Amino acid sequence: MSIIIKEECPKCGSVGGLFVCSMGGIDCADCGEFIRMAKPEELDQMEPVAKAFKKKREEGKMKTENIVPFKRKDVKAYLDKCIRKWRRIGNDKSDLKKEMAIYYIDAFQSVRISLFGELLPKEEKSNER
């Protein structure tokens, strides 16, 4: 997973929230939408192991294991964006979404504490975006 900086999400308008996922797709951490598949030149900018992924895709062989390099900083930023997104949904949306938000926040916090040893602390409303 790697952050793509300065590209605006076409679905929610967020800047800085787009990530290349382990399957070579681009997802938005702010709205949770799949945006598009990564372009070859975007994969070229990544580590050599990601180029192997590109080659497999060109050959029509999809790999199921993760071969995109993990960068701690980017993984943490991704998790924090997901947790904040679901906190916002938990505060604003319908009862069903609110109920879902509890589980999503738990799931992302669980990954965060496993990898980084700490939860994303509760924040003031003005800092949540």
Give the nearest distance from C-beta 80 to Zn ion in angstroms.
15
Residue 100 CB partners (closer than 8 Å, separation 6+): 86, 89
Which stretch in 24-32, 39-47, 52-60, 76-84 sits in contact with Zn ion by CB under 5 A? 24-32
Q: How far apart are CA 19 and CA 36, in angstroms?
A: 11
Give the nearest distance from C-beta 90 to Zn ion in angstroms.
18
Q: How far apart are CA 122 and CA 125, in angstroms?
A: 9
Give the nearest distance from C-beta 117 to Zn ion in angstroms.
29
For Zn ion, give the closer residue by CB, 35 or 75. 35
Residue 11 contacts Zn ion per CB under 5 A:
yes
DSSP state of 3: E
Site for Zn ion in 29-48 (CB under 5 A): 30-31
Residue 89 contacts Zn ion per CB under 5 A:
no
Residue 123 CB partners (closer than 8 Å, separation 6+): 84
Q: Which of 38, 4, 42, 45 is nearest to 24 (CA)?
A: 38
Residue 12 contacts Zn ion per CB under 5 A:
yes
Q: Give the chain's length.
A: 129
Give the nearest distance from C-beta 112 to Zn ion in angstroms.
20
Q: How far apart are CA 38 and CA 41, in angstroms?
A: 8
Residue 9 contacts Zn ion per CB under 5 A:
yes
Contacts to Zn ion by CB under 5 A? 9, 11-12, 14, 28, 30-31
